[in-house]
């Protein structure tokens, strides 16, 4: 008993498995992905009696060991592979007291694998209200197991569960139902061909096309003494197995479970009629989203402003307290702002996942997914894709992370790839200043033209996301079974602990995962903007000062002109000049080229970069607007920002992947650079083409 006990938490979706996991591990948990695949891996440490510890692995939700998704395949392959470092000493199957019949199918299959298995019956606090009584003695005897009656909400039964885990060696490994009874002759031949292997493991290898040890489906087929059945015969046997298991479960529950229907409530039925109504369901969902995003926008603005101010003050303090030089500049202008660029996303991510957790915990999110599936399915998406797409209006980063709820890999990938088309809050500074420059502040049919333009940009983004999803669904050759099975859990008050842990884990995942990449690229951009070759950069102060007239211009203008001149002759300035021939057909000059390159760090950097280039302090947006309005097109003459160039720029930012943090999180979620690089190339090319056509047509 000296070694750490490996425990696998297994169960159907919506049985409260994650709640049990949180009660066992608290904050002693970490989230990652299984090696080589995008399925989330949650594991933690649980302190047991007598000073021992258990390593708890929260496996993806699965309805049975008949795999139909990547998530379910992960469960089967772990349970078959004794050499895996996570192979369980004991399996804990979590069930819901109101859905025992369905949950026990999975339990009986795992018992056939001859692994010590504990049955947790969760949500015990609902038994009185639902008129449910259980005979635990009968259930334990018939199932050959130990049963923990638990309420994760009220934290009851958890200590008893820990004792059972500690004493797992006392639990019988005898199956409660031998699957071999469905075809004794066939299984006897299988036993003789592979005498040292578990019969039910062999059956799973045959039917699921998974491997364990040195045995796989091909070795079974090619054996001299054994030939497996045809696929159609195997399917019939699988169906027979399921029928036999449910016959056993029905008989068991007749003895061990009593339900007094008079005690139950029909509130759920009445609520479902309203929340999934073909008209009112959409109206209610729209109102919920409106409230959520208003709250996200209003609430996050205060901590984001505080973070922004704090990091600006920290940069200034570092610059003043440390000796002048390149190292100080790197810290004050590169590293600290880079860290600020990571931390400033935290409020939006935290608030968004706070609300998503509330919707999931309450049971409402399942109704939304069911409601939206009819619409989203036409575009190759799932009903579950609606959450990331709507979340993208706040920020694409948590929206991409929210796509984890989509089980089907193809639908999840398509959702991740199209989410950046939805207009995020980072685009707003760009939109607002360009719209103010090129769209007249007038009304049409009582609506402000500038406001209408902003709304149209939002609609264009969402529409492009749906069309792109439809195209990707047609061209992506990814074999991924798509079964829309959505559990309609009971409505319940969200658990504070679950919501808090979910927010902390998701936020930490972003900061530690994407944060490293964001910080690295921020430093690179700072270096490119802070250094340059030749006399133009090195002697910028002398060159600008020689042309400066102190009687006509204030001294602050001199500093701004020096900064602007240095930027023009820095490496990033040279890059801007180099790409000027490419951006000129779009109606831009080298300065906008620099702003576009700089804003790859984050879209909102565009305005700040132009403020520096145009030698204007970034405090007064109106001043930036005036200077930008006065800028002359070096090629065509006349104002640089015309209706044609303005619309071109708006469309470029509507479609371009100008956000390195989104690319970083896409890389993290897909476990490869392939998709974010394709995303960057295709979206940028599409944005360029649309902007080019818009300018050439409108000019």
Q: What are the CA-CA distances from residue 93 to residues 104, 177, 526 (Å)?
A: 9, 16, 52
Give the chain's radius of gyration (CA, Å): 30
> Does residue 90 sit within a domain?
yes
Q: Work out the percent of the chain whose per-residue pLDDT is above 70.
A: 82
Confidence of residue 483 (pLDDT cuts 50, 70, 90): low
Q: How far apart are CA 218 and CA 237, in angstroms?
A: 19
Q: Which domain holds residue 351?
A: 266-363+489-527
Q: Do residues 294 and 223 both lie within one domain?
A: no
The CA-atom distances, in angstroms, between 151 and each of 7, 474, 548, 694 are: 19, 46, 76, 60
Are 231 and 109 in a shared domain? yes
Among 422, 424, 389, 420, which residue's Cα sits nearest to residue 406? 389
Q: Which two three-digit tokens encode residue 146?
A: 């130990």
Calpha distance 128→98 (Å, rounded): 11
> Domain boundary residue among 527, 553, 575?
527
Q: Is 202 helix (H, G, I), strand (E, B) or coil?
A: helix
Q: Are residues 142 and 255 in the same domain?
A: yes
Query: Which pLDDT value is given to residue 1?
Result: 45
Mean pLDDT, rounded, for 265-281: 78
What is the tens place of the pLDDT at every residue in 562-619? 777 887 788 888 888 888 899 989 988 877 887 888 777 767 667 666 655 554 333 3
Distances (CA, A) of 242 to 238, 239, 251, 497: 6, 5, 14, 37
Looking at the domain assignment, is residue 517 inside a domain? yes
Q: Is residue 322 part of a domain?
A: yes
In angstroms, how far is the first alpha carbon of the chain from the final one?
A: 79
Residues 119, 80 within the same domain: yes
Q: What is the CATH number of the domain that holds 198?
A: 3.40.50.300
Could you tell me if residue 381 is inside a domain? Answer: no
Q: Choose between 48 and 387: higher pLDDT.
A: 48
Domain boundary among the residues 263, 283, 299 is at 263
Whether residue 66 is found in the same domain as residue 92: yes
Q: 315 and 214 share a domain?
A: no
Determine, yes or no, domain membership for 317.
yes
More confident of the two residues 435 and 145: 145
Q: Indicate whether 355 pLDDT > 80.
A: yes
Quote the CA–CA distance of 347 and 636 in Å, as a whole number.
Answer: 44
Would residue 346 count as lying in a domain? Answer: yes
Cα–Cα distances (Å) from 195 to 109, 190, 202, in that order, read 21, 8, 11
Q: Which residue has the tokens 């649309």?
A: 690
Give dist(CA 468, CA 461) in Å, integer. Answer: 10
Distances (CA, A) of 325 to 142, 218, 320, 482, 526: 77, 67, 11, 59, 15
Confidence check: pLDDT of 115 > 80: yes
More confident residue, 451 or 521: 451
Same domain, 63 and 193: yes
- The answer to whether the CB of 125 falls within 8 A of the CB of 41 is no
Residue 126: predicted pLDDT? 80
Residues 338 and 284 in one domain: yes
Do both 141 and 112 map to the same domain?
Answer: yes
Give the model's pLDDT for residue 616.
34
Q: Which of 212, 245, 263 is the last residue of a domain?
A: 263
For the stretch 317-341, pLDDT in tens is: 888 898 888 788 778 777 777 677 6
Whether 255 and 278 map to the same domain: the answer is no
Per-residue confidence (pLDDT) for residue 328, from 0 to 100: 83
In a domain, 659, yes or no: no
Same domain, 121 and 32: yes
Distance CA 468, CA 463 (A): 9
> Is residue 306 domain-resident?
yes
Residue of higher predicted confidence among 42 and 407: 42
Least confidently predicted of 251-260, 282-291, 511-520: 511-520
Cα(204)–Cα(228) distance, integer angstroms: 12
pLDDT at 621 over 60: no
Rounded CA-CA distance 386/376 in Å is: 8
258 and 351 housed in the same domain = no
Nearest to 427, CA basis, from 203, 650, 671: 650
DSSP-derived secondary structure for 122-152: E-GGGHHHHTEEE-HHHHHHHHTSEEEE-BT
| DSSP per position, 151-162 | BTTTTBSHHHHH
Cα–Cα dist 602/590, whole Å: 19
Most confident of 2-6, 104-108, 387-391: 104-108
Question: How many domains are there within the chain?
Answer: 2
């Amino acid at each position: 008993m000296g070694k750490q006990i490996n425990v696998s938490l297994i169960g159907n979706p919506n049985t409260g498995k994650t709640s049990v996991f949180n009660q066992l591990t608290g904050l002693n948990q970490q989230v990652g992905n299984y090696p080589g695949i995008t399925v989330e891996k949650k594991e933690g440490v649980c302190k047991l009696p007598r000073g021992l510890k258990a390593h708890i692995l929260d496996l993806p939700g699965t309805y049975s060991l008949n795999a139909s998704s990547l998530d379910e395949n992960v469960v089967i392959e772990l349970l078959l592979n004794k050499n895996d470092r996570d192979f369980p000493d004991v399996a804990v199957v979590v069930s819901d007291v109101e859905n025992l019949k369905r949950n026990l199918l999975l339990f009986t299959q795992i018992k056939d694998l001859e692994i010590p298995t504990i049955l947790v019956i969760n949500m015990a606090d609902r038994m009185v209200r639902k008129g449910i009584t259980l005979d635990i003695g009968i259930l334990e005897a018939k199932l050959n197991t130990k049963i923990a009656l638990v309420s994760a909400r009220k934290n009851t039964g958890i200590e008893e569960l820990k004792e059972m885990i500690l004493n797992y060696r006392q639990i019988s490994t005898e199956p409660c139902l031998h699957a071999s009874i469905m075809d004794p002759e066939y299984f006897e031949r299988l036993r003789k061909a592979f005498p040292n292997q578990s019969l039910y493991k062999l059956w799973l290898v045959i039917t699921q096309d998974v491997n364990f040890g040195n045995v796989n489906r091909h070795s079974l087929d090619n054996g001299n003494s054994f030939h497996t059945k045809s696929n159609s015969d195997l399917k019939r046997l699988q169906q027979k197995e399921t029928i036999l298991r449910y016959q056993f479960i029905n008989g068991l529950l007749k003895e061990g479970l009593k339900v007094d229907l008079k005690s139950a409530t029909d509130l759920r039925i009445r609520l479902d009629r309203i929340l999934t109504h073909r008209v009112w369901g959409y109206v209610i969902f729209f109102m919920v989203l409106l409230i959520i995003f208003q709250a996200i926008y209003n609430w996050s603005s205060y901590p984001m402003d505080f973070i922004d101010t704090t990091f600006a003050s920290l940069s200034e303090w570092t610059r003043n307290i440390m000796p002048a030089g390149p190292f100080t500049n790197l810290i004050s202008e590169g590293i600290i702002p880079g860290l600020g660029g990571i931390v400033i996303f935290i409020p939006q991510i935290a608030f968004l996942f706070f609300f998503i957790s509330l919707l999931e915990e309450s049971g409402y999110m399942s109704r939304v997914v069911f409601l939206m599936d009819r619409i989203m399915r036409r575009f190759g998406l799932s009903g579950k894709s609606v959450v990331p797409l709507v979340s993208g209006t706040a920020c694409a980063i948590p929206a991409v992370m929210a796509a984890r709820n989509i089980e089907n890999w193809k639908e999840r990938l398509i959702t991740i790839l199209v989410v950046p088309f939805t207009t995020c809050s980072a685009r707003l500074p760009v939109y607002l200043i360009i719209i103010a420059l090129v769209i007249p502040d007038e009304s049409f049919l009582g609506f402000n033209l500038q406001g209408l333009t902003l709304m149209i940009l939002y609609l264009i983004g969402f529409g492009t996301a749906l069309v792109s999803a439809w195209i990707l669904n047609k061209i992506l050759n990814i074999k991924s079974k798509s079964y829309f099975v959505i559990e309609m859990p009971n409505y319940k008050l969200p658990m504070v602990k679950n919501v808090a842990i979910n927010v902390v884990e998701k936020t930490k995942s972003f900061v530690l995962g994407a944060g490293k990449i964001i910080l690295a690229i921020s430093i690179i951009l700072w270096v490119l903007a802070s250094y340059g070759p030749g006399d133009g950069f090195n002697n910028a102060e002398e060159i600008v000062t020689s042309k400066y007239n102190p009687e006509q211009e204030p001294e602050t203008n001199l500093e701004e002109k020096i900064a602007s001149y240095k930027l023009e002759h820095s490496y990033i300035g040279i890059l801007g000049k180099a790409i000027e021939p490419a951006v000129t057909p779009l109606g831009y000059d080298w300065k906008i080229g620099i702003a576009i390159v700089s804003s790859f760090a984050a879209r909102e950097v565009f305005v700040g970069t132009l403020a520096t280039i145009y030698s204007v302090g970034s405090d007064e947006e109106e001043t930036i607007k005036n200077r930008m309005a006065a800028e002359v097109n070096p090629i065509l003459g006349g104002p640089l920002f015309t209706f044609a160039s303005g619309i071109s720029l708006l469309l470029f930012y509507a479609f371009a992947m100008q956000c390195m943090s989104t690319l970083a999180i896409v890389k993290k979620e897909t476990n490869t650079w392939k998709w974010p690089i394709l995303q960057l190339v295709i979206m940028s090319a599409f944005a360029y083409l649309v902007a080019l056509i818009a300018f050439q047509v409108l000019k």
